[in-house]
Every structure is written in structure tokens, then in C-alpha cells.
Amino acid sequence: MAPVKVSKICCIGAGYVGGPTCAVIALKCPHIQVTIVDLNKDRIDAWNSPDFALPIYEPGLVEVVRQARGRNLFFSTDVDKGIKEADLIFVSVNTPTKKSGVGAGFAADLKYVELATRRIAEVATSSKIVVEKSTVPCRTAESMRTILEANSKPNCRFDILSNPEFLAEGTAISDLFSPDRVLIGSLQTQEGIDACQSLKQVYANWVPEERILTVGLWSSELSKLAANAMLAQRISSVNALSAICEATGANIDEVAHAIGYDSRIGPKFLKASVGFGGSCFQKDILNLVYLSESLHLPEVAAYWRQVVEMNEYQKRRFSKRVVDTLFNTITGKRIAVLGFAFKADTGDTRESAAITLIRDFQSEKALVNVYDPKVPHEQIWLDLEEASPQVPLDTIKKQVTICKSAIEACKDAEAVVIATEWKEFKEIDWEAVYASMNKPAFVFDGRLIIDAEKLRKIGFKVTTIGRPSNNQD
């Protein structure tokens, strides 16, 4: 046997991972036909839209799709056709945390992975390389292999690979163009190694060979969870320090800068904030917690659980600081929340700190104006409704107003809360904002992006995360 030369790729799932990843593969590999399939017609229609109104906001993505779409990049709802024609299939479907049953709140819900795997087995009429791209618990590939082998047609074999993504939303395209590493896991059989080489040859069209790491299947799956857990751990660690800074008079920016100079630590992911969000960090840590408990390692599970608990504590602590600073009540007061995405340069709201803050402000009977430059209004309503399941949406809409600009959101407000580090929030006409607000006018910087001293000179009372609350830097 020898590695298969890949000429046609199918990606099942047109979301945050599958869409950008396979669009870049198509761009960098013009000799390979790449088809991204999804049952969601609206999503596929958006990928195919004439004006490139893509369903995902990611800097640089439109340019990639513009160059490759219609040449060797295609988007379709015909899942079966994509499966039949492909040599290699990426499974890149959603894996949310389970909301009920065994492992609820911690384990990943693999129903979409299983459905996709069963569909491949049912439809495929020739041998395929199946690549697990979704973030999944350890040993998921074994389950996929069991399903495929039990349902495959005669003379139809499947080789399973693990190829986890390490993309940061907001920089996904540059991450794909120049990745720190590409990780490919396979069974250490000759067939598995050959399949691994087939995928490696695809990435080798633009990724230096020394950055393409080939490992065992289970090591690959665990590496993804471990990498995100380690990164989230750094954020929770610096956020824990931010609480100490506020109490002692230290400045978290100065502390982080100083410790980041240690070459063993480095400066990345040491930015204090109102808390981390996104589709991966919390989900992957909870996965690790569940795995540890399943393996009867309660101390290990408790260790990783604390990273998530610290993140939730940071959000609660920040919203309480807003209430405390506004004379211990925000009932009937208008709060402007700037930013709803979990981070800048993305429209993704999963686990966004803004959702928790607004829910807390709602519970205190405040009126909330919210503005985000990229998050669709319907997504904001969906997230707020899910965050407060006992509160009817009509009631939420009486307390929350979605605004068209930051200036509009701040008008007649008592306080401004910066929840996302969008660049435009650094460039707001703060003098105009101050003139439009009720006095005293408060600003709460949950992302360390504003010039606090400049705002104080205008007249604002400024509270910055990780700094003492005496309005002095």
C-alpha cells in the first residue's frame, strides 16, 4: 500500500472550523476540489451569496472565498454527493456540551459526529480517509471507526485520522496561512500511517514540513484539549491576580508585563479581562474534567474545574463592582454595554462575558443598551433568552435595547461597560459620550483598552479591571 493522492475533499459542516479551514485548503491547493456541505440551507446560501455576505465574520475570509469559490471551492447542501465523490472527508460538525443525561454540563454531545459518521458509512461506495476535525473527547475516533466498520459496504474501507484545529477566532485566516503546527494523529498501523501521509501531503502545499506533526490518534485528541486548557489556565491565573491587584493597589498590566519577561512564561495570554469565552476553552476544559472523573482521577478533575470556576467568578466580580460603584444599586439605571461578541474581530458569542454581565444587570432591574459591530440582533436575543430561560423574551426586550452605534448606546446612560475589545471602542469620541450621559458618568473597562487618565480628565469616573477602585492608575 501507499498514501492515496488526494484530489477531492469533502467537509461536513460549514461552521467556524470547517468553512475557513477548507476555504484556505482550496486556495492553497488549486489542484484539489474542495466541497463544503451542510444541511443548513440558509448557511450554504450565505456562503454562496453573490455579495459575499458570508455567515461567519473573520478578517481575510472574504478575500479567500472570493479567490477560490467557483474555481475549486464549492458549497452545497448535497451531503451525499460530497461524500461519494471525496477521497478525504473532514467531519467538522458542532460538538456542544451536553445539557442533559450522563455527563450533562461537562461531556461533549457527540450526536452530530455520530450522525455524520453513520451518513458516511451509509452513502460511501469506495474507500475513504475520514478526518476528525471537530473538537472531541479522547477515543472519539475509536467510536467513529467502530460505526464505520460495522456499517461499511463490501470492499469499502475507512481510515480514521485526528486533525484538531488550533485556530483563534479573529485571526483564523492568518493562523491557517502560517500555523504554529498542524497536528495529524493516526493509528500506528501501515494503513493508518499511509492515510496520515495523504493528509500531510495536502498541508505540505504551503506548511513547512517541520511544522506538520504526526502522532498517535489518542495523543492528537488529547493535545487539543490540553492546549486549550493550558491557555485558559493562564487567563484564569492572571484574572485571579487582577482581584489581588484591585485590593492592594497594584496594576495588573504592570504585573503581567513584568512576569511576561520571564522566558519560561512569556507574555501571551496574560491579559486580564472580564473573562474568557468562545467555543473551545470552557467546553474543552469541561471535557477534560469529565474525562478525569471517568478515569477516577477526582483531584485532576478538581484542578481543571477550578479554571472554569475562576472564569465565572471573574464575571460575577466585575458585575458586582459595577453595582457597588454605582452607589450599591442599578435599579432603573441605564447601563451601556459595548461589545457582545466574546472577543474582537469575530461575530461569535458563545460563552461571551457580555451575556453574563447583561443577565446580572437584568436581575438588578437595570435598563441595558447594547451595541456590537458584528453580532446580528437576532443572535443577541437568542443568547439573552437562553441565559434567562425563566424570563419571557418580551420582558427581556423591555429591559434591553440593541443600538446601532456606541454613541447611541451611551446616550442617557449612567455607566458604560466595555465587554469586548473592539478597536472602534478605543476611538470613540469620549467627549461627546460624556456630554450625552447622566452625571456622574462612569466607565468600566473590562478589557484594558482605554486611556483611563484621558477619560478622567474629561470628567468620567473610571474603573479598570485589575486596578484599585480609587480612580487612580
Extract the annotated binding site. Answer: 13-18, 38, 43, 93-97, 134-135, 165-169, 224-228, 264, 271-277, 280-283, 342-343, 350, 447
| CA 224 from centre of chain | 14
- Could you tell me which of 448, 446, 445, 437 has the C-alpha nearest to residue 462? 445
Query: What is the rounded distance in angstroms from the CA atom of residue 316 to the CA atom of residue 455?
Result: 25
Cβ pair 339, 425 in contact under 8 A: yes
- Any idea of the CA torsion for 12, 16, 22, 24, to the nearest 10 degrees? 170
Query: What is the rounded distance in angstroms from the CA atom of residue 334 to the CA atom of residue 364?
Result: 11
Radius of gyration (C-alpha) of the chain in whole angstroms: 24
- Cell 479522547 belongs to 138
Query: What is the rounded distance in angstroms from the CA atom of residue 307 to the CA atom of residue 251?
Result: 22
The residues with which 323 forms a beta bridge, in sequence order, are none
Cβ pair 383, 461 in contact under 8 A: no
Cβ pair 357, 274 in contact under 8 A: yes
DSSP designation for 94: -
The grid cell for 466 is 485589575
DSSP labels, 323-334: HHHTTT--TT-E
Q: Which residues are known catalytic residues?
A: 280
Neighbours of 234 (CB within 10 A): 17
